[in-house]
Structure formats: structure tokens, C-alpha cells
């Protein structure tokens, strides 16, 4: 499932994050990947252990916790605190697949990467290029969203970031271990959840919506891993 979630952060929240990020010390992004990723990765990142990155990541986690669409789509068991990257001057990240397991910075815990998320922190008009390109069985999808919007996609997808030829692209990125690891099942649960909410909004609660909600929760019991 490839899903655009608008307005995860407000304009004011984005501005506050960017002011602090722009003053931070960035390092070579190749330090955070294996040998295969290092061959195609050309960007800069905030080190996972730096204090400003942890603080800003915590602010994003708070916003995610309040976002019902993110919860419904990802069904998070655990979410890795966000990291931050920066592209300019032709920097790019070639085609790759995210590692299956990530170690949570500052914690003795590993996380299976089921869902990948990119939260855009630069407006599309501020830079040229820099599209996130996701390759899946339905084709090739180029994504360039307003600042504060998030794209969510399966971590099993091949993806890349095209070269930034003007301006600067700043984003947060992170991974979620879902209660439902299978993307097809997770997508069905999201569609069922959205349909139930739409029916309730249109007609109110009814015997039928109670039955549908029961099926949703029973499927979650059947498939969930915690």
C-alpha cells in the first residue's frame, strides 16, 4: 500500500523543525548504510545519536501518535524514532531496498521494517528534482509532497531519491514494525477501517456497522503479532 497522509505537521511545526535542522551539523549519509547502500547513496544525515535529532524525532513521534490515518494504515507495533536527511547540489540515493531489521538508536532493541515513511520538510517549489520514486508491481511512482505531508509504503519496495539539481530537500524518514507484517492484509484492514468510518459518518451507528467493526477486530486478533 502506497499512501499519502497530508498534514502530519502544521506549517508552524515544519518551520520550527526547519529552523533547528538548518542550524544542525550534518554528516555523510553513507555512514548509516551497509556496503551495498553506500555505493548508491549520496546525501547528508543527522547522526542518530545527536541531541537535536532525538528531540525533533520525539516531536514527530508525538504528531504521529495523534494521527488516526497513520495508525490505521501502519498498525504500528513499534516505530523507530525518525532520522533526518538532506539533499542538494546533485545529491541522490540510487535504487535500493531498506534493510529488513534496524537497531533502534540508543536502545537495545531491534525492529523489523514492514512500513517505510518519508515526511517531507521542504516545499516542492523550493527545489528541483528530489522525487522519491517507489517501484512496485503496479509501476513506478514519483512522489514529491508539500512540507508536512507523509508518504507511507511497504519496506519491501525498491525505491530511490532522484538528484536534487536546485535548492535543498530536507525530510524525516523512519520505519515501523506493524502488528500485521503482510502488506496485502494490512491494506485490507485499512480499507475496512476507512469504510466503517465512512458508513458511520454517513448513517450513524447501526447493527451493520457493529458487525463490520466486529469483523475488523476479529481479523486483527487473528493476524496481529505484538
The cell for 211 is 458487525
| pLDDT given at position 89 | 97
- pLDDT of 34 reads 64
Q: Is the dihedral of CA 181, 61, 21, 122 positive or negative?
A: positive
Containing domain of residue 207, as a range? 183-223
CB 126 within 8 A of CB 168: yes
Is the domain of 118 the same as that of 217? no
Burial class (CB in 10 A: 0-12, 13-18, 19+), 75: buried
Residue 107 pLDDT greater than 90, yes or no: no
Tell whether 46 and 131 lie within a shared domain: yes
This prediction has a pTM of: 0.94
State the chain's mean pLDDT as an integer: 95
The stretch 6-17 carries a mean pLDDT of 98
pLDDT in tens, 193-207: 999 999 999 999 999
pLDDT at 38: 73
| Res. 36: pLDDT tops 70 | no
**Is the same domain home to 46 and 132?**
yes
Res 111 pLDDT > 90: yes
* CATH code where residue 100 lies: 2.60.120.620
Q: Provide the percentage of residues in the chain whose pLDDT is more than 70.
A: 96
* Dihedral sign of CA atoms 131, 120, 70, 33 in order: positive
The predicted pLDDT at position 87 comes to 98
What integer pLDDT is reported at residue 37 of this predicted model? 67
- 60-92: pLDDT as tens digits: 999 999 999 999 999 999 999 999 999 999 999
**Considering its fold, how many domains does the chain have in total?**
2
Answer for the pair 74, 116: CB distance below 8 angstroms, yes or no.
Answer: no
Give the separation between CA 128 and CA 150, rounded to whole angstroms: 19
56 pLDDT above the threshold of 80? yes
Question: For residue 108, what pLDDT is reported?
Answer: 77
State mean pLDDT over 159-175. 98
Same domain, 33 and 95: yes
Quickly tell me which residue has 548508491 as its cell: 40
Q: Which of 150, 116, 120 is nearest to 136 (CA)?
A: 116
Question: Do 172 and 188 sit in the same domain of this protein?
Answer: no
Q: How is 133-188 classified by DSSP, letter by letter?
A: EEEETTEEEEE---TT-EEEEETTSEEEE--EEEEEEEEEEEEEEESS--HHHHHH
Query: Is the pLDDT confidence value at 99 over 90?
Result: yes
Residues 110 and 188 in one domain: no
101 has which bridge partners? 112
Amino acid at each position: 500500500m502506497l499512501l499519502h497522509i497530508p498534514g502530519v505537521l502544521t506549517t508552524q511545526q515544519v518551520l520550527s523543525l526547519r529552523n533547528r535542522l538548518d542550524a544542525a551539523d550534518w554528516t555523510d549519509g553513507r555512514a548509516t548504510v551497509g556496503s551495498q547502500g553506500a555505493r548508491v547513496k549520496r546525501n547528508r544525515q543527522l547522526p542518530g545519536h545527536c541531541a537535536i535529532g532525538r528531540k525533533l524525532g520525539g516531536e514527530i513521534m508525538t504528531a504521529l501518535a495523534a494521527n488516526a490515518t497513520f495508525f490505521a494504515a501502519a498498525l504500528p507495533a513499534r516505530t523507530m524514532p525518525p532520522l533526518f536527511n538532506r539533499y542538494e547540489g546533485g545529491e541522490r540515493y540510487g535504487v535500493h531496498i531498506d534493510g529488513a531489521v534496524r537497531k533502534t538508536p540508543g536502545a537495545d532493541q531491534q525492529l523489523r521494517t514492514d512500513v517505510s515513511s518519508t515526511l517531507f520538510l521542504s516545499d516542492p517549489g523550493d527545489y528541483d528534482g528530489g522525487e522519491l520514486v517507489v517501484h512496485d508491481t503496479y509501476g513506478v511512482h514519483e512522489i514529491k509532497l508539500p512540507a508536512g505531508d507523509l508518504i507511507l509504503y511497504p519496506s519491501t519496495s525498491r525505491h530511490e531519491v532522484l538528484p536534487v539539481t536546485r535548492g535543498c530537500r530536507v525530510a524525516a524518514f523512519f520505519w515501523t514494525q506493524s502488528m500485521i507484517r503482510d502488506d496485502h492484509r494490512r491494506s485490507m484492514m485499512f480499507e475496512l477501517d476507512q469504510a466503517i468510518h465512512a458508513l458511520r459518518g454517513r448513517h450513524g451507528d447501526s447493527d451493520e456497522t457493529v458487525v463490520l467493526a466486529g469483523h475488523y477486530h476479529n481479523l486483527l486478533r487473528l493476524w496481529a503479532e505484538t
